[in-house]
Structure 1
Amino acid sequence: MTSPLTEIPDYLLAEMFLRLPDSEDLVRASTACVSFYRLAGDDSFLRRFRRLHVPSVLGFLQAGGMFRPTMPPHPFAPAARAVARAADFYFSFIPSRCHWTVQDIRDGRVLLARDLRQEERALAPVFRDLTVCDPLHRRYVLLPPVTDDLAASLEHPFPMVRPARCKPFLVPLSEEEATAGETAFMVILVAHCITSLAAFVFSSNTGQWQAAASKRWSDLGLGERDMAEMSQVHPFILSRHYAYGCFYWDWVEFGRKKLLLLDTRKMEFSTADLPPGEWTYEGIAIVEAGEGRLGIFGFHCETPSDLIYTVARNKGESPSHWQMEKTISLDSRYRYFVKDITQRYLFLTRREASCLFNEVVGYFSMDVKTLQLQRVYQEQHYFMNEAYSYINFPPSLLSSRRI
């Protein structure tokens, strides 16, 4: 006999499945029967499910490949342990004898660059080899090299520096791009030269690199001191943020109150000022505050244990009017540092306030919507200096339906 449950229309089943607490419950429900599995694996349904559910904080992946899963009592600790057991974070599934280093992570996908030995640097190409991989499903895509004509278009690169002063990173897909296919991805490569900036874009849809943006430092409206210092800093060590289609880089750690912007919709570089106030070198985080407005988390000199949340009054990537939204008081016995930011989570480390160079004594995530602070890791390590937050389960790169 046909079960009454299987006679429920798909659109009602989808609404029921969307109300499941998390992805683990969805996986269990999908194993009940073929029709449930087909619905739960549908691309459009999965996009709706991911939008409605809080991303999983699964841990941190160091540049060299060491994975440190989220620890109890964090609610995602069981899922993190499962990922640590199932995934290959040493990337042994990539058929190459070279060593790979982590450059960026987005939605469980990892961007890697070939790590050059010292003797290889003098003969190295302008840009390093790159690959995007899914360590959970053990799938990868080797990116083609940036063509010689694109590399030659760099204006006044730093002499004797090979590879170039550049930083590759993954780009969040728009709703339209995500609809086109869960396997799509995009990589941007930003190069710092002596007199200019350049950006190159790789799209998995075209399989090619293309020049995307270029700007002379002198055309960014910077003072001589700002221009000199910003052009000399390697992009690898700058903090990067993303909101409303724009990437932001800040120089707060170096005492500058300027932001560098790359608008991925227009593919244009520009600069903006930070909100007024003495922002400290403990770091800032730029987030989407809703209604097209930017928000900034950071610390001020007057109250080093208070996390300040400031929101722009007007919309746009370079707002001019700001207002303090709220102050989150943290434990005054410690000094906190902003270490990473995703579209949903702010990650903080803390040290003993009595000594600036004490070891890290805690790693925390803060939901930027609810402002809930949770410990994700406790052991004393310096690994967060070169670690990337691993958030959410990846859609597989090369297969169609994956939960």
Structure 2
Amino acid sequence: MAPTLMELPGSLLTEILLRLPEPEDLARASAACPAFRRLATDASFLRRFRRLHAPRFLAFIDLDGFQPALPPHPAAPAARALASAADFSFSFLPSHCRWIPMDIRDGRVLLGRDHGKDARPPICRELAVCDPLHRRYVLLPPVPDALVASAERPPPVLRGPSDEPLLLPLSENDQAAEGTATAFTVISMVHCETKLAPFVFSSSTGQWRAAAPMLWSAMPVSPMDPAYLRRHHAYGCFYWDSTNIKRKELLVLNIQRMEFSIAELPSSGWGTLGVAIVEAGQGRLGLFGIRDGTAGGSKHDLCYSVRHNKGKNSGQWQMVKTFSLGPEGLHYLKAATERCVLLICSEAPRLVGLSMVMPDLLEYISVDVKKLQLERVCVKPFGKSLSRTRIYAHFPPSLSSPTI
């Protein structure tokens, strides 16, 4: 008689569960019996499962609040469950100030205190990392005065696109050392007169430390350049793309070495409507960009290219797929995670008299790197869409860790 599933060796059962196509399937399997649940909730197993199944798009957050994916988007059921179970108004945090989402990683949100119109805001913003699903949070301690004083005096007042703090994912080695996937690291950048001073907070130590400063004179371009607005993360590096149509490059920050560099974009007639860096798999970088007709054409195309990292074509970008967006309206790459991008489509702004009238409604569309399909997320009023937008992508609520 053939062995039952319960009699399979643990290693074989692990390989079977790892190959379940969706996180919901793993959640249902974990409810079958205690043995399945022990395996499905093991930290090392979950790390392997996450490597094989990239977190999918669930929602996005801007200053208008939490915007879940709506039907017919395939993530709509999970997004609806998340929206009903979580608190994305962050009402469980101390109410002495207003909190603004600064970054999102692995289902957690990095919040920064809104200092409004303070005449002299602090050099280092007050920060908190929270788990909206389980309404838990960690208030980061202030950066010690001794570390701030080591940056430079008089106090730095310069601000730039890299001024926003960064919430980092832990490497596999770090996660294994911690024994948990709940740890986190935050980097806060301080812009000084002659250098950029990074301060690093680790949840494992609960303390800030100073990283090696980076001199402005040693950088290829200044991260204070306002043209560098959009930020993306892939393979341990952060990328800022430029809205300057003449600047065909990306500003890159290598987190391990804490060094800035420049990466060239493929010469494909990119306009000012945004590019996005993603992880294409096997260590390769993927690039989404919009060709907006500035090279003489009239139609808008969303293009996806992959950069080779091996062989004689190493370093070269190869076009993989092109999506026709049509000639009418406005198309804009708004945000990106490691494996998906968020696109805005709307009617073109209208000039009425001397004023520019923006469209009433915006259509948000997600594109997953694996499926390479345009999927409608929602339609929302223009509102505060010009604010920074962050994608919320993680596993469904039933697999979320109970703590951060």
What TM bracket, shorter-length normalisation?
Answer: 0.7 to 0.9
What pairs up with 1:24-63 in 2 under 5 angstroms? 24-63=24-63
What is residue 244 of structure 1 aligned with on the other side? 235
What does 1:306-321 align with in structure 2 at a 5 Å threshold?
Answer: 306-314=301-309, 321=316
Shift of 1:141: 1.2
Q: Secondary structure at the match of 2:335?
A: strand
Measure the CA separation in 2 of the matches of 1:78 and 1:359.
27
For 1:132-147, list aligned pairs within 5 A.
Answer: 132-147=129-144
Q: Does 1:362 align with 2:367?
A: no
RMSD between aligned residues: 3.1
2:333 corresponding residue in structure 1: 338
- Which structure 2 residue ranges, 5 or more long, are not aligned? 351-355
The answer as to whether partners of 1:240 and 1:247 remain within 8 angstroms in 2 is yes
- Give the SS at the match of 1:362: strand
Residues 1:15 and 2:20 are matched in the alignment: no
Whether contact under 8 Å (1:359, 1:380) holds in the other structure is yes
* C-alpha spacing 1:323/1:158, structure 2 compared with 1 (3 Å): farther
- TM-aligned CA distance change 1:158 to 1:339, over 3 Å: farther
Q: 1:322 to 1:24 in 2, by over 3 A?
A: closer
- Name which of 351, 369, 388 aligns with 2:390: 388
Shift of 1:282: 0.5
Q: What aligned pairs does 1:226-375 form with structure 2 within 5 A after superposition?
A: 227=222, 231-233=224-226, 238-253=229-244, 256-300=247-291, 301-302=294-295, 303=297, 304-314=299-309, 321-353=316-348, 355=350, 357-375=358-376
**Matching residue's letter, 1:201:** V
Q: Deviation per CA, 1:338-377, whole angstroms, max 9, x where unpaired?
A: 0111111011001225859434431111112331110111
Show the counterpart of 1:112. Answer: 111
Aligned twin of 1:126: 123
Distance 2:375 2:162 in 1: 36
- Cα pair 1:299 1:308 within 8 Å, conserved: yes
Deviation at 1:140, TM superposition (A): 1.1
Deviations 1:205-232 (CA, angstroms, capped at 9, x unpaired): 222212224222222244xxxx5xx535
Q: Is the 8 A contact 1:253 1:283 kept in 2?
A: no
Distance 2:160 2:337 in 1: 28
Say whether the 8 Å CA contact 1:260–1:270 is kept in structure 2.
yes
**Secondary structure of 2:29's partner?**
helix
Which piece of structure 1 moves more, 23-32 or 105-114?
23-32
Structure 2 residue aligned with 1:204: 203
Q: Which residue of the other structure, out of 160, 169, 173, is the alignment partner of 2:166?
A: 169
Structure 1: gaps spanning 5 or more residues: none
Q: What's the offset of the Cα at 1:337?
A: 0.5
Question: Is 1:165–1:193's contact at 8 Å kept on the other side of the alignment?
Answer: no
The CA deviation at 1:307 is 1.7
CA distance in 1, matches of 2:161, 2:13: 52
CA–CA distance in structure 1, aligned partners of residues 150 and 55 of structure 2: 39
Q: Indicate how the Cα distance of structure 1 residues 163 and 241 shifts in structure 2: closer, same or farther if over 3 A, else same.
A: closer
Q: CA deviation at 1:200?
A: 1.9
Query: Which structure has greater helix proportion?
Result: 1
C-alpha spacing 1:397/1:255, structure 2 compared with 1 (3 Å): farther
User: For residues 259 and 374 of structure 1, what CA distance do their matches in structure 2 show?
Assistant: 27
Structure 1 match to 2:80: 81
Contact 1:63 1:103 in 2 (8 A): no
Q: How does 1:90-109 map to 2 (within 5 A)?
A: 90-109=89-108
Identical residues among aligned pairs (%)? 51
Aligned to 2:353: none
State whether residues 199 and 213 of structure 1, in contact with CA within 8 Å, keep that contact through their aligned partners in structure 2: yes
Question: Distance in 2 between the 1:232 and 1:245 partners?
Answer: 23
Contact kept? 1:184, 1:397, Cα under 8 Å: no
Measure the CA separation in 2 of the matches of 1:173 and 1:158. 31
Assess if the C-alpha contact under 8 Å between 1:244 and 1:288 holds in 2.
Answer: yes
Q: 1:20 to 1:323 in 2, by over 3 A?
A: closer
Worse-superposed segment, 369-378 or 247-256: 247-256
2:231 maps to a residue whose letter is R
Q: d(CA) in 1 for partners of 2:111 and 2:26?
A: 30
Structure 1 residue 56, shift from structure 2 partner: 3.0
After TM superposition, the score normalised by the length of structure 1 is 0.84
Q: Is the Cα–Cα contact under 8 Å of residues 60 and 67 in structure 1 kept in the other structure?
A: yes
Letter in structure 2 aligned against 1:139: R
Of 388, 392, 403, the residue aligned with 1:398 is: 403
Secondary structure, aligned partner of 1:55: coil
Q: 1:144 to 1:365 in 2, by over 3 A?
A: same
Seen in structure 2, the aligned counterparts of structure 1 residues 378 and 217 have a Cα distance that, compared at 3 Å, is same
Separation of aligned partners in 2, 1:384 and 1:396: 31
Alpha carbons of structure 1 residues 10 and 383: separation in structure 2 relative to 1, 3 Å: farther
- Cα 1:289–1:99 change in 2 (3 A) is same
1:61–1:231: structure 2 CA closer, same or farther, 3 Å change rule? closer
Distance 1:266 1:30, change over 3 A: same
Partner amino acid, structure 2, of 1:396: S
Partner SS for 1:361: strand
Q: How many residues align?
A: 384
